[in-house]
Structure 1
Amino acid sequence: MFKKLKEKLKPEQDGQQQQPQTQLHPSNPYYSPPVASQHSMGVSEKYQPPPGPPPQAGDPSSYAPPLGPPPSHFPQQPAPSWEPPPYHDWTVIPDNSLLPPPPSIGYDSSPTANATMEDGDRAFAWTEANPLWQPQNLTPAQHAAIQNGQLALLKAPTYTGDLLPQRHPGHWKCRTHALCKDASILANLPIYSVFWDSPLRTQRPKTIYFELKVTGIGRGIRTLEEAEAGIAIGFVAPPYPTFRLPGWQRGSLGVHGDDGRKYVNDTWGGADFTTAFKPNDVVGIGMTFSPPKHPPSYEQSQQGQPLDIEVFFTRNGVKNGGWDGNEELDQKCEGGSTGLRGECDLFPAIGVFGGVDFEVFFSPENWLYNPY
């Protein structure tokens, strides 16, 4: 029985082995590769080893991890947040003490006397050709004289009138001619010395101050043109074009008595500040340089703002206003407050035009106001 079955199956096996090989060739359009199985593959085909040598124990390269991070390291979608935004109390006023002061609202012209545009252009060209002086090292005797108010007045080329020293050092009487042109009278020594007074060197505040008394304005008027007269008080960083009033050009500030406005490097119309000077008014101008209470920001340090600066004005022995010396200036003030930040020596300056009479006091003994 088994013999008959073996003979019956033999022709089928023989038939499989006699199939034409061309049917298994890939060039045949009807070719389909046979499915590997134990019945169609030999022993050597069923157990072919992987290529390469077998991995060695302890060889890290034989256990290389798969490419890419494991599934647990894939970025996760953040959980949604349903919390409401924080409540803002609009009734609380924010602290703006650290913000820079807003710029002053300037005018294009003064309601009283105005210099010509030609003079302004000439002064601008003059300052462009004459850069600010570097700080000068005073002698101890010069510095002592400044502290005692022993300063002299220098007559500007455009000044026409008298400068008369009085018995007490630092006291001067001045009288201009009726047709005196714009002129700035400067002192012979700086009232602020960078080498001696800068808080960056001394670590102490420094206040500079002086006063003048108005005794007459508009003297000798004969025509309407001669009616224009005025006095200004301020400080300048040299060199300064003395045919201009203090506050009109680079490195200067001043309060003008004809229109009551303040000028800080402002060739135009200044900004509202006080009222016009009157006969018998005693007015004073001062500046206090102090170490900064708050370290300057990067922008401020780049702009040269290392000190806190207060500018103040007095009238008849009473403080009558002031401003922050670091305040932002109008865009028309080209150069900003350069020279007035404590980096240059500063000189007292009195501006005049027309017929005026006044007295100047540099000594603290003669001041109505005590700035210290």
Structure 2
Amino acid sequence: MCFGSKDEVHEEQQPAPRPLPRPSSIDKGASSKKQPPMAPYQDPPSPTTAGPSSSISYPPQQQQQNSYAPPPGPPPSKSQPYQDPPSGVATSSQPPPPPPTDLPPSYGDANPQHDWAAAVPDTSLFPPPPAIFSGFERSPSSNASEEEAIAGEVWCEDNPMTAPMMLDDASKGALHFHNIRLMEPAGFNGTLEWKGPGVWKATTRKNSPDRCLISYPPLYSVHEHGPLRTGAPRTIYYEVRILADSPTTYVGLGFTALPYPSFRMPGWHRGSLAVHGDDGHKYINDRWGGKAFTQPFTRGETYGIGMTVKPAEAGRLLVDVFFTRNGSLAGGWNIHEETDAEEDLPVDGLEGHHDLCAAVGVYDGVGIEVVFAPERWMYRDL
């Protein structure tokens, strides 16, 4: 972006002053100080009238330049042929002495040109600059239709995010024992089975539409866990294992504030984030192609996602997201990391001031196991 008018010339935009031309060999001995005006030249008195004891005085400049004084008389005209010097003037067959060699180098051209080719290096072999904003317009794997994206935005406008809820005793007990429930959304084309406290199995049929499984109660409750109330950080986490015989790896795992459109994958709308297995991209309120983050998922592997909300100075909250693969930390980011103000949408709902639920997205044919029970997690560094 250009600031100011193109016709304005600011002082810092003025071109640098050019160096002054260096003196030529003729005025090499001239002083930098001003000299008094020179008297007009007069012929010295004749030796016959001056006498042997008289001294001939010359002007100062003439004394300095007497070895280079021209012969008396006017110079020959270009149209006149060469004439012998007057009699009495000494001549020499020796060539004139060479010019002094101790002069400093001359700039040559009075108006030198800048040699940009010597000053600017060849950048053709330089590595490309880092991709600070690595957002994609579309996923390289699969994409929902524009009509579905518009429907999700309309749904969010009609259903704004809710304030933090007060949990009842049953919900507090479920959180304490990690007996989290996954809610089956409308239009879910598959099966959802409870395998035991904190463990669920989900399968979908081929060509099933996008659906988002949302947990209850929230894994992060502002009233129960908020650092502004408790003064302590809160970490939430769960894992998803893709079954070895799963037809695809079309699953996304993340978190969302409530409510969220269950017919959309997590991370595509406000108050939601997720990592998708088909392309390995991370999505934070991003209904386009996400940002490069990790490798696409593989059948038989286990993936986990977590968030840590911790207090900071001046009543602020810091939120970090981390991602695991087969029990090892495999990446993460801060929710307020540098973003593109023109391309990225806000992270409202993910900053620790709203309740957050687990959000597992599935589509097409896929088989997964969702684990909330810590004793069943592969990742142990919590």
TM-score range (shorter-chain normalised) is 0.5 to 0.7
Identify the residue that residue 226 of structure 2 maps to in structure 1.
198
Identify the residue that residue 288 of structure 1 maps to in structure 2.
308
Q: Distance in 2 between matches of 1:308 and 1:229?
A: 32
> 1:252–1:279: structure 2 CA closer, same or farther, 3 Å change rule?
same
> 1:211–1:327: structure 2 CA closer, same or farther, 3 Å change rule?
same
User: Which SS does the other structure have where 2:214 is aligned?
Assistant: strand
Gaps of 5+ in 2: 1-130
Q: Distance in 2 between matches of 1:201 and 1:276?
A: 39
1:262 aligns with 2:282: yes
Q: Distance in 1 between matches of 2:234 and 2:373?
A: 16
Q: Distance in 1 between matches of 2:353 and 2:257?
A: 10
One-letter identity of the residue aligned with 1:137: M
Show the 5 A alignment for 1:165-180. Answer: 165-166=194-195, 168-180=196-208
| Native 8 Å contact 1:174 1:357 kept in 2 | yes
Higher relative contact order (CA 8 A, sep 6+): 1
> 1:329–1:258: structure 2 CA closer, same or farther, 3 Å change rule?
same
User: Which SS does the other structure have where 1:210 is aligned?
Assistant: strand
Show the 5 A alignment for 1:291-306. Answer: 291-292=311-312, 294-295=313-314, 306=316
1:332 aligns with 2:343: yes
Show the 5 A alignment for 1:21-32. Answer: none
Show the 5 A alignment for 1:323-362. Answer: 323-330=333-340, 331-334=342-345, 336-362=346-372
User: Which SS does the other structure have where 2:343 is aligned?
Assistant: coil
Of the candidates 189, 194, 197, which is equivalent to residue 217 of structure 2? 189
| Native 8 Å contact 1:229 1:354 kept in 2 | no
Show the 5 A alignment for 1:54-133. Answer: 104-133=133-162
1:185, distance to aligned residue in structure 2 (A): 0.6
Of the candidates 211, 214, 217, which is equivalent to residue 242 of structure 2? 214
Identify the residue that residue 322 of structure 2 maps to in structure 1.
312
One-letter identity of the residue aligned with 2:221: S
Identify the residue that residue 88 of structure 2 maps to in structure 1.
none
Q: Distance in 2 between matches of 1:237 and 1:371?
A: 26
What is the Cα-based RMSD across aligned positions, in Å?
A: 1.7
Q: How many residues align?
A: 251
| Native 8 Å contact 1:234 1:348 kept in 2 | yes
| Native 8 Å contact 1:216 1:358 kept in 2 | no
| Native 8 Å contact 1:135 1:344 kept in 2 | yes
> 1:104–1:364: structure 2 CA closer, same or farther, 3 Å change rule?
farther
Q: Distance in 2 between matches of 1:152 and 1:270?
A: 28
Of the candidates 256, 259, 271, which is equivalent to residue 236 of structure 1? 256
Q: Deviations over 1:298-354 (max 9, x none)?
A: xxxxxxxx20111000010000000001224343343x1000001111110100111
> 1:119–1:333: structure 2 CA closer, same or farther, 3 Å change rule?
farther
Question: What is the identity percentage for the equivalent residue pairs of Structure 1 and Structure 2?
Answer: 41
| Native 8 Å contact 1:183 1:244 kept in 2 | yes
One-letter identity of the residue aligned with 2:155: W
Q: Distance in 2 between matches of 1:200 and 1:175?
A: 39
Query: Which is greater in Rg?
Result: 1
More displaced, 244-253 or 102-111? 102-111
Q: Distance in 1 between matches of 2:191 and 2:226?
A: 34
TM-score normalized by the length of structure 2: 0.63
Q: Distance in 2 between matches of 1:140 and 1:371?
A: 29
Q: Distance in 1 between matches of 2:337 and 2:349?
A: 14
TM-score normalized by the length of structure 1: 0.65
User: Which SS does the other structure have where 1:258 is aligned?
Assistant: coil
1:209, distance to aligned residue in structure 2 (A): 0.3
